[in-house]
Structure 1
Amino acid sequence: MEMTVGPDRVVSLTYSLDIEGEEAPEWFKRPLQASFIFGREPVLPLIERAIEGAREKEEITLTIPPEEAYGPHRAHLVKEIPLSRLKHPERVRPGAYYEEEGPFGQKTFFKVLAVEGDRVKADFNHPAAGKNVIMRIRIEAVREATAQEILAAEIRRCGGG
């Protein structure tokens, strides 16, 4: 009997994300894998509803609105910064993403909105903030969870591990 996604079943899937209506950065679109016990581990309700009843090898595409994805675009995260503060000013191009590593390994990442003289208008919002996210899911495997897996998931959910 073919197994479908449902409560207390281990679901293994691959998924990729994209931004509706625009080109997302490559790191954002990279395929990822996830495995979880349906109904026992934290998954967005929108995703659970979309995959419930799906079969192995089934592909599902859903649109996730900003409020359930990366939140609204925040105007206070758009700033003007001097080009002289950047390690690699030659990489600054309007419409492109700029990234550099700081002295302690922290990342500076923003979208270049404009370059005006010696100043850069930079958007520090997540690239998908304020936008619909397209999620493409492929159900790779579905099986019954063991009693031990269910217990471990419950312990994690309650903060015990």
Structure 2
Amino acid sequence: MKVVKNSIVTLKYSVTDPDGAMVDDGQEPLIYLHGGHDDIFPKIEEALEGKELNETVKVRLQADEAFGEYDAELVQIESRADLPEELELGMELEGGPEDGGEGDDDFVIYRVTEIDGDKVVLDGNHPLAGKPLVFTCTVAAVRPASKEEVARGSASED
């Protein structure tokens, strides 16, 4: 079976930076619903269209095609006293909207990137924001999506 719209695709993959340094060794396969459901980066989905089992594609993504450009406005310096007592580098914290907006989409996940005395630096950018990436993907399995998966817009969790 070929990779076509509304098929569930299982990929073996790895991600490197443009110099070949490993970013993600793809320990777990990536399973997604193919066909414009925003389950995978569009440029990768386009490269996989029509591929068959065991075919491999290598796709270079610029930062804006992957995790976005780095946004300095998503970096905040907060008082240590305003944050949880159990705080460590790399920890993730959910932050609310600065403009008073409402809704789940307004929340940002911040990573603790620096702790200096009573000041803490929080970064709301994805760790790979601003970086070009090279995805190497091999089609490991393809099957038709169920009606439920298509309606939901994503592969089953099982």
Q: With structure 1 as the length reference, what TM-score do the two structures score?
A: 0.59
Residue 35 and residue 100 in structure 1: after superposition, are their counterparts in 2 closer, same or farther (change >3 A)?
closer
Shift of 1:29: 5.7
Q: Percent identity?
A: 24
Task: Find out whether 1:71 has 2:68 as its counterpart.
Answer: yes
**Which residue type is aligned with residue 120 of structure 1?**
V
Q: Secondary structure at the match of 1:31?
A: coil
Higher CA-based Rg: 1
| 8 Å contact kept, 1:11–1:139 | no
Aligned to 2:137: 137
Task: Find out whether 1:12 has 2:9 as its counterpart.
Answer: yes
Shift of 1:31: 2.7
**Which residue type is aligned with residue 88 of structure 1?**
E
**Which residue type is aligned with residue 12 of structure 1?**
V
**Matched residues in 1 for 2:122 and 2:139: separation?**
38
Residue 54 and residue 76 in structure 1: after superposition, are their counterparts in 2 closer, same or farther (change >3 A)?
same
Structure 1: 5+ residue stretches without partners: none
**Matched residues in 2 for 1:48 and 1:61: separation?**
11
Shift of 1:32: 4.2
Superposed, 1:80-91 pairs within 5 Å as 80-84=77-81, 85-89=83-87, 91=88
**Which residue type is aligned with residue 49 of structure 2?**
E
| 8 Å contact kept, 2:68–2:130 | yes
Aligned to 1:51: 48
Superposed, 1:108-127 pairs within 5 Å as 109-112=110-113, 114-127=114-127
| 8 Å contact kept, 1:87–1:100 | no
| CA deviation vs aligned residue, 1:104-137 (integer Å, no higher than 9, x gap) | xx9954141x433321222221112211233332
Aligned to 2:59: 62
* Number of corresponding residues: 138
| CA deviation vs aligned residue, 1:89-117 (integer Å, no higher than 9, x gap) | 3x23xxxx123589xxx9954141x4333
Structure 2: 5+ residue stretches without partners: 96-106, 154-158
